[in-house]
Chain A
Amino acid sequence: MDPSEVEFLAERELVKVIPNFTHDKIYLISGDVGPFSAGLPLPVPLWLAVNLKQRQKCRFVAPDWMDIDVLKEKKQEEADSRFFTPMPSPHYMEITQLLLQWGTDDIPKADEIRTLVKDIWDLRIAKLRSSIDVFVKSGESHAKLNYLTLMEINTVRLFLTKALNHMHQLKSVTSRDTTNSNSQAF
């Protein structure tokens, strides 16, 4: 799966915006949006938020977790814990990326938030790599990881499945060799 596809899925998440126009409810296949009234924040899907923002029809409201203190705490928690900790949003990376790309001026302290989210991402990816390392070395057939987000899974998916496939091939060849040599001995 492409990262852009993950982003596409993330665009269904709801974010809050403040529209500058008034409009009735919009009925969409994925659900109803609205009604819009100028100046009142309301939740809309991310794709709609970005589209409205590009056309200067709304301002973003930063999600509750998109705050320096909350993110710092989260980062500390992530660093302290051996395991993955639950994330404030299953698509935190994509949402941050999109909101900051299109609405840098709406999000307070955008630069610091970008850095913090990237830090958390780096921590988690490092954790993921080391656990994969342990998993592959131990030769186990399955492992369980909690609280991984889709984007994170997606970054290792290609590598992990391929690597495990190779391992499996190698294993099956060696085990066949050993059974072959065993049978000849008898």
Chain B
Amino acid sequence: MLVRDFKREFYDVVQHQRVLVLVAFDVDSLCGCKILQYLFQCDQVLYTIVPVTDLQELEKAFLENAEGIKHVVLINCGATVDIVDLLQPEDHVRFYICDSHRPVDVHNFYNAVQVKLLMREDELSTIPTYDELFRDDSEDSGNESEDSDTGYKKKKFDEESIIRRQEKRRWSENRVKVLFDYTKFTSYGTSAALVMFDLAWKLSKDTNTLLWLAIVGVTDQYIHFKTPRDKYMEDILTLQSHVSRHNQRGGDNENTLSINSLKISFEEELNFPLYRHWTLMDTICHSMPIACKLRLWSLKGQKRLHEFLAEMGLPLNQCRQQFGAMDANLRSEVKGKIQEFMSKYGLDIQDVILPSFSLHYGYKSQLCATDYVLSSIAVLESGDKSRSSTDNFLEACDILQKGCTDKMEAGLSAAKLQLRSIYTQVQSFLEMHQIISAGPFLYVFVQEGTADSSYFAHPQCSIRLARFALQAHCAVSRNKRAQSLPLVLGAPLRQEEGTSLVVGIPPLDTDDERKNFFGKAFEQAAEATNTTAKFNNFDSYIIEMKSEDKSKFFDALISILQ
């Protein structure tokens, strides 16, 4: 059931008992969780937070912590599966689901007692109506048993029951069709962090810190290609009104605010990853749109980049310096110059400029929202095997805390390593011509034993790799159809078990929708071939399977998508 009044129907109800909060592993849910955590701390509510990576862990975490718990909050997980069916909770347990995954499972939506959805109403308008999905059959069966008692009217009733049966068949055919249409595409709704921030705002407990978390959550969705640019811009506009409400204090009072307080400002940021903490050269190379358009992995591309820099009047030795150490005049000109010359190199304004926010705190250099996203996801999905996922989760939480500069620094360097490994992997894909067209889709595998393959065993990182590979392939491919082909990427997951992670991303020409049909396709392919693929991930287009089943699975996938 959809919750309309978050305060009355969710927050006020939850307050009096210990709450179990289950959080998925991405930056958006991390931010949402931190906002909720802050609210709970304000009102002295007892809570337990358990991070969960997949459905299996969700089940385990629930079983372990369910004792005495009445309210369970799920952040960015659980909306796409029938949560009551999965967890088999006791009758008094209530689930509050704040999840950006769409489509929402119909059972969750129509469960009026145990499941409450914390989502925006307008995003759930496509859900099939109740009558299309459920009908009360008990009446029919009751009638039928009566029929058998009364023998003399049997014939007449038989006719009626035939009609009824026919109608029922039609109904169930329609039900399958409606359900299929509804679940065909997976997409994303409003970020969990933003929904939580709205709650905080309604409780008038919104502060700059919480606002920043909401911004990071929204940015995370955009960076990981979950929401299209239009949706991102819409959210940014909403956030901007909050930002100006919090950060403007009439006229000359402005400079009275202490330097130690958090300040957020709206900015047309350069869309280069971590550029404030890197050299200009590196950051341009690792920026996806520019790298693809200039084809920076080739020698020719490097030449083109040098030309581009020369035309902008940026000396190479300056570009190889830390951005912060560049000549101040040059540094301030970079943005304008790039915008001036970009059209000559086929770059769009969208490739270069990203409307975003930046954060000032103390005398430290300013940080922008993408910095936060990249560094926390790098820590969250660090390839380090010696640390448990919970450790990573806590570490990433610390990064989002204000004033944790050393953790932030560590996160930034981890993010750089991650970006580098994605870039080199894409480069080797292209050089070895590993991106292969299977007809209806492209596919590529990360070879086992590749140096950085541990990075790509994580969902968010592999999505970024897949996207980069697809974009790069489209940039070099002479095939005009490349734009309309989706890509499937396989990466080794656990070598000792011989499993791999398979990710499917939609084609580039449907980029303004960002709807993914691979969830259903994978499901059908697995059914057709009887492979034991695990649909464990919260995103249905990311699955786990035995590496040896791969060829069988792909054959089935080709025939399905054709």
Contact = CB atoms under 8 A, between A and B. Distances in A.
A104 B261 contact: yes
Interface in A103-149: 104-105, 107-111, 114
A98 interface: no
A105 B247 CA distance: 10
Nearest to B205: A56
A104 B258 contact: yes
Max chain B C-beta neighbours (<10 A), residue from A55, A56, A100, A108: A56
Given A55-B42, A55-B43, A56-B42, A100 B258 contact: yes
Contacts of B259: 111
Contacts of B551: none
Contacts of A110: 256-258, 260-261
B204 A105 contact: no
Contacts of B43: 55
A96 interface: no
A20 interface: yes
A107 B204 CA distance: 20
B244 interface: no
Nearest to A52: B42
Interface string A43-64: 0000000000011110000000
B259 to A, nearest CB: 6
A104 B260 contact: yes
A56 B210 CA distance: 12
Interface in B352-371: none
B207 A56 contact: yes
B260 A109 contact: no
Given A56-B205, A56-B207, A105 B261 contact: yes
A108 B258 CA distance: 8
Interface string A143-165: 00000000000000000000000
B360 to A, nearest CB: 13
B257 A105 contact: yes
A109 B257 CA distance: 6
Interface in B221-273: 253, 256-261
Contacts of B41: 55
Nearest to A55: B42
Contacts of B256: 108-110
A20 B42 CA distance: 13
Contacts of A57: 42
Interface residues of A, number: 14
Contacts of A111: 258-260
Interface string B458-487: 000000000000000000000000000000
A48 B92 CA distance: 37
Contacts of A109: 256
Nearest to B258: A110
Interface string B30-44: 000000000001111
B340 to A, nearest CB: 39
Max chain B C-beta neighbours (<10 A), residue from A57, A111, A114: A111
A114 to B, nearest CB: 8
Contacts of B204: 20, 56
Contacts of A107: 258
A105 B259 CA distance: 10
Contacts of B205: 56
Interface in A167-183: none
A20 B204 CA distance: 9
Interface in B41-97: 41-44
Nearest to A110: B258
A22 to B, nearest CB: 13
Nearest to B41: A55
A56 B44 CA distance: 12
Contacts of A100: 258
A105 B204 CA distance: 16
Contacts of B260: 104, 110-111
A114 B43 CA distance: 30
Nearest to A101: B260
Interface string B499-511: 0000000000000
Nearest to A100: B258
Contacts of A20: 204
Nearest to B263: A105
Contacts of B207: 56
A31 B437 CA distance: 79
Interface in A72-100: 100
A99 B205 CA distance: 19
Contacts of A56: 42, 204-205, 207
A64 to B, nearest CB: 18
Contacts of A55: 41-44
A38 B260 CA distance: 28
Contacts of A114: 258
A66 to B, nearest CB: 13
A57 B204 CA distance: 9
A99 B45 CA distance: 25
A114 B204 CA distance: 29
Contacts of B44: 55
A56 B35 CA distance: 13
A22 B395 CA distance: 39
A143 to B, nearest CB: 39
In the A-B complex, the 10 residue pairs with the closest CB atoms:
A110-B258, A55-B42, A104-B258, A56-B205, A104-B261, A105-B261, A108-B256, A109-B256, A111-B258, A104-B260
11 contacts: A54-B42, A56-B207, A57-B42, A104-B257, A104-B258, A104-B260, A104-B261, A105-B258, A108-B256, A110-B257, A110-B261
Given A105-B258, A110-B258, 5 more contacts: A57-B42, A100-B258, A108-B256, A110-B256, A110-B257
